[in-house]
Amino acid sequence: SAYNHSAGTTMTLLAVAVDADGCNGEMLVKEYSTNSLSYNDITIALELLSTTETEAVVKVTPSSSTATLKYYYAEQDYYIWNYYFGTDKAAISEACQLNSTAKRNLKNMTLTDGTFTMNGLNVGKSYRLAVVAVETDGTYSMAEVLEFEIKMNLGEFVRAVDPMTGEANPVWEAAK
């Protein structure tokens, strides 16, 4: 089956015809290449600006203002990454164009002052955000991928008394 092969792959097709009496015909051997994908030249810069226990804010800077940005984000170990998108830029870029399930999962990105906010995140989980730019002619850019972890900010814990010396801790005194 050619279904799972990457674009630009050279393959060989073998075929044999069998008649009603079970006699084989001549074997047909045909080499072919799957089509290579082309991408537009739009680039996308992603910068994680901040996280809280439930959200992340990312600065998104595309090199074109005419393209539609599409995105998908989920926990890094979520099955959709492995089954439909892949986990690296090349695989994700290809899936965005070829895999119908991946395409259905892409959503249009709306930026607010050049930023995008992801909600519903959980502390202690690692996430992956993939963004592509679709130009007005329908061509896709290579995907840009950002991976990050949501951590809880517990601040700094300071002891009032240094356990080694028994003396007052100057950091504790300054924090009062």
CB atoms within 10 A of CB 68: 12
Instruction: Give residue 46's pLDDT.
Output: 98
- DSSP 8-class letter at 118: E
Instruction: Give residue 130's pLDDT.
Output: 97
Query: Does residue 127 carry a pLDDT above 90?
Result: yes
pLDDT digits 0-9 by tens, 43-80 = 999 999 999 889 999 999 999 988 999 999 999 999 98
> What average pLDDT does the segment 75-97 reach?
90
Model confidence at 129, pLDDT cuts 50, 70, 90, reads very high
Model confidence at 37, pLDDT cuts 50, 70, 90, reads confident
Rounded to the nearest angstrom, the gap between the alpha carbon of residue 161 and the centroid of all alpha carbons in its chain is 47
Query: Does residue 106 carry a pLDDT above 60?
Result: yes
Separation CA 80–CA 139 (nearest Å): 23
Nearest to residue 41, comparing CAs of 70, 66, 22, 20?
Answer: 66
pTM over 0.95: no
Query: Contacts for 47-52 with beta carbons within 8 Å, 24 or more apart?
Result: 48/146, 48/148, 49/115, 51/121, 51/148, 51/150, 51/151
Separation CA 11–CA 15 (nearest Å): 13
Instruction: Give residue 4's pLDDT.
Output: 47
- Percent of the chain beyond pLDDT 70? 85
Model confidence at 154, pLDDT cuts 50, 70, 90, reads low
